[in-house]
Amino acid sequence: MTDRVVVTGIGIISAIGKNTDESLQHFRSATSGIGAITQIDTIHKTNLPVAEVKYSNRELLNLLNIANKKCNYTRTSLLGMFAAKQALESAGIHSVKKKKTGLVSANSVGGMDKSEVFYATFLGHPKKGKISNIVGHDCGDSTEHIADYLGIKEQVTTLSTACSSSANAIMLGSRLIQHGLLDRVIVVGCDSLTKFTINGFNTLLIFDKEACRPFDATRNGLNLGEGAGYIVLESEKSAVESGKKIRGILSGFANANDAYHQTASSPDGNGAYLAMSQALSMSNLQPNQIDYINVHGTATQNNDLSEGIAMKRIFGETVPRFSSTKSFTGHTLGAAGGIEAVFSIMALEQQLIYPNLRFKTPIPELQLIPETKLIEGAGIKHILSNSFGFGGNNSTLIFSAA
């Protein structure tokens, strides 16, 4: 497996914009996408802030030029199609047939946005409820819509490992290329906000009623977000052959399991430690070569402490500069790893480090201070990005400058 896997395209939609330019503007002006719930009918509308994509499904259909199609797309599909197409265009791919091109997508709750509408009728009246609202329930549905929209047939699959889903999709995409099975893969994930996840995380009492404060001593939970992030991975050979601009190199990755608790992270951050150290070892980098960490940083008590402990175990007292972009986008669950991979590539290209908004006081046990101001000309070569999920599923990706 000597041929390197590189990134040649990126596409994104989140609460801070529908492309990389809009996202950058938000980072530069330190404007987060967190605000009131407007797209979902829930009793939590007034008390739980979220990071919504600022377009209705109708508007997304128009943006995608498919408003006339009869298909009852889930919001997850629409977000995914939007970002995946953007990634393809940004990679300058006009025909997916020219090379062996696959799609590996990830999400955490599939078409739940429509399922919950269906069940509201169906549960009381088993013969009622619009049946087209349930056919997109499974996680594979959005992937097939994206594949069909892009014309991809070669390899189509879906991963779901909660909040590390799309980081794992990137690993799989890379391995499919490294094994010579595909030349390039459109990879990562999408998730939409739903009543199901809003109420689900609410039962865990891990929502902040205000905008979240990752890695702050007073952090009080996360805000949910939605969106999609896709990247185009190609073998270096394929990219060079076709004269593509290499946007970044995927130089290391690892998935490890915390094996501690179904939802909570272990006190010693063992899963996170294993994921980071194995990814470093794969990339042949020393810890001190990492210039920036895009932390998982959900702003829950448990995650940030456990992740911080794991970072200290790896980096000692010289933890690299770090920030949580979830202070802008909220926690986009299955899309998070993908969105943050796109941010990592943007950071390498623009030489930026993003601010960790609303941080004031370090966590006493850690004394770690994230970057709170945007840094331009950051001089970064290697970025480490963490994504951790339920089921103890911990993943680390390392992106390096081309």
Partner 1 sequence: MSQLANELKTEIIKALNLEGVSPEDIENDAPLFGEGLGLDSIDALELIVLLDKNYGIKIDSAADGKAVFHSISSMVAYIESKK
Partner 2 sequence: MVLAEIIQPSFLVQPNMKVYINGIGSVNAQQAGYTDNFLTEIQQTEQHSIRSIEPDYKAFINPTLIRRMGRIIKMGVASAKMCLNDAGVEQPDAILTGTGLGCIEDTEKFLGAIIQNNEQFLTPTSFIQSTHNTVGGQIALMLGCNNYNFTYVHRAFSFESCVQDAMMLLAEKAEQNVLLGGVDELTVNSLKLIERLGQLKNHPITSLNLLNYKTRGSIAGEGANFFVFSTKHTESSYAQLLGCKMLYKPENTEEITESLQQFLQQNKVQASDIDLVLYGYNGDVKYDRLYTEVKDKLLSKSSVAYFKHLCGEYHTSNSFAYLLAAHILKTKSVSPSILLDDKKRLVKTILIYNHYRGINHTFSLLKAC
Regarding 98 and contact with partner 1 (CB under 8 A), the answer is no
Q: Are strands 393-400 and 227-235 parallel, antiparallel or unpaired?
A: unpaired
Binding track, positions 273-312, relative to partner 2; x by CB under 8 A: -x--------------------------------------
153 binds, among partner 2, partner 1, none (CB under 5 to 8 A by kind): partner 2
- Select from 10, 107, 52, 32 the least CA-distant residue to 333: 107
Q: Kindly state whether residue 237 participates in binding partner 1, applying the rule CB under 8 A.
A: no
User: Quick one: which of 261, 281, 288, 367 contacts partner 1 (CB under 8 A)?
Assistant: 261
The DSSP letter of residue 92 is T
DSSP codes of every residue in 246-295? P-EEEEEEEEEE--S-SSSPPTT-HHHHHHHHHHHHHHT--GGG--EEE-
Size of the site for partner 2 (CB under 8 A): 70
Pick what 97 binds: partner 1, partner 2, none; C-beta below 5 to 8 Å, kind-dependent: none
Strand partners, 400: 249, 382
CB of 224 to partner 1, least distance (A): 18
> 166-196 in b/e burial notation, b at 16+ Cβ within 10 A?
bbbbbbbbbbbbbeeebbbbbbbbbbbbbbe
Residue 341: other Cβ atoms inside 10 A: 32
Q: Which does 264 bind (CB under 5 to 8 A by kind): partner 1, partner 2, none?
A: partner 1
Q: What are phi and psi of 400, to 5 degrees?
A: -125, 150
**Among residues 49 and 140, whose Cβ is nearest to partner 1?**
49
For residue 310, the minimal CB distance to partner 1 (Å) is 19
Q: Is 264 a binder of partner 1 (CB under 8 A)?
A: yes
For tokens 């490890």, the residue is 256
Does residue 296 carry a catalytic annotation?
yes
Q: Does 19 bind partner 2 (CB under 8 A)?
A: no
The alpha carbon of residue 382 and the mean position of all alpha carbons in its chain are separated, in whole angstroms, by 18
Nearer to partner 2, 363 or 397 (CB): 397
**Contact status, residue 285 vs residue 251, Cβ threshold 8 Å:** yes
Judge whether 26 counts as a catalytic residue: no
Residue 234 is inside which H or E element, if any? Answer: strand 227-235
Closest by alpha carbon to 369, among 308, 306, 296?
308
Candidate list 139, 163, 190, 212, residue with the active-site label = 163
Single out the residue of 67, 69, 200, 376 in contact with partner 2 (rule: CB under 8 A).
200
| Footprint of partner 2 on 75-114 (CB under 8 A) | 100, 108, 110
396 binds partner 2 (CB under 8 A): no
Contact positions with partner 1 (CB under 8 A) in 188-227:
203-205
Q: What are the two backbone dihedrals, phi and then psi, of residue 334, each rounded to the nearest 5 degrees?
A: -65, -20
- Binding to partner 2 in span 354-393, by CB under 8 A: 389-393
The distance of closest approach from Cβ of residue 313 to partner 1 in the complex, given in angstroms and rounded to an integer, is 23
Rg (the chain; Cα; Å):
20
The secondary structure of the chain in percent helix, strand, coil, rounded to multiples of 5, reads 35, 20, 45
Specify the residue, 132 or 263, whose C-beta has the smaller distance to partner 1: 263
**331 carries an active-site annotation:** yes
Number of residues that bind partner 1 (CB under 8 A): 7
**Taking the mean position of all CA atoms in its chain, how far away is CA 246?**
21
Q: Which residues inside 40-59 make contact with partner 1, applying CB under 8 A?
A: none
Catalytic, out of 26, 145, 331, 382: 331
Angle subtended at Cα 293 by Cα 225 and Cα 348, rounded to the nearest 5 degrees: 90
Q: What are phi and psi of 13, to 5 degrees?
A: -145, 130
Residue 364 makes contact with partner 1 by CB under 8 A = no
Name the residue nearer to partner 2 (CB basis): 101 or 385: 101
Residue nearer to partner 1 on the CB measure, 69 or 261: 261
272-282 burial: b if 16+ Cβ within 10 Å, else e: bbbbbbbbbee
Binding site for partner 1 (CB under 8 A): 203-205, 261-264
Binding site for partner 2 (CB under 8 A): 1, 42-44, 100, 108, 110, 115-116, 119-120, 122-123, 126-127, 131, 134-135, 137-140, 143-144, 147-148, 153-162, 168, 172, 175-176, 178-182, 195-196, 199-204, 255-263, 270-271, 274, 389-393
